[in-house]
Amino acid sequence: MKGAGVEFDDAIQLKEINPASRTLPKADALPHERMEQREIRQRIDAAIAQLTPEHRAVILMKEIEDMQYHEIAEALECSIGTVMSRLFYARKKLQNLLRDVYENV
């Protein structure tokens, strides 16, 4: 942990709670659980939409498409350092926007 909150990093799997993964709620989940899962997905969609196009691209490529740093760098025609920097700032922004969501998961 860092500072006042939990650090949003590789240990927190975005795709586990991300609507882009398009996983459906468990069939045996109670109605209020399914509604809560949909609400979380909507919050994550909205947070991702607030990222800059550059940050959104790297977060989706890394966390949803499970691409490696060098693959992302090739696709975006930038350096691995740039990919890492963009991921860091994208995760920081998502951390701030979704603090209440992932602290209660």
CATH of the domain at 46: 1.10.10.10
Question: How many domains does the chain divide into?
Answer: 1
Q: What is the pTM of this model?
A: 0.66
Asked if residue 6 belongs to a domain, the reply is no
Asked if residue 64 belongs to a domain, the reply is yes
What is the pLDDT, as a whole number, of residue 67?
96
Q: What are phi and psi of 39, to 5 degrees?
A: -65, -40
Q: Please tell me whether residue 81 adopts helix, strand or coil conformation.
A: helix
- Strand partners of residue 2: 5
R_g over Cα of the chain = 14
Alpha-carbon distance of 99 to 96, in angstroms, equals: 5
Name the nearest CA neighbour of 98 among 3, 8, 1: 8
- Helix, strand, coil tally for the chain in percent (to 5): 65, 0, 30
What is the pLDDT, as a whole number, of residue 78?
97
Asked if residue 46 belongs to a domain, the reply is yes
Query: For the chain (length 105 residues), average pLDDT per consecutive 10?
Result: 42 46 58 86 93 96 95 97 97 92 69
What is the pLDDT, as a whole number, of residue 26?
58
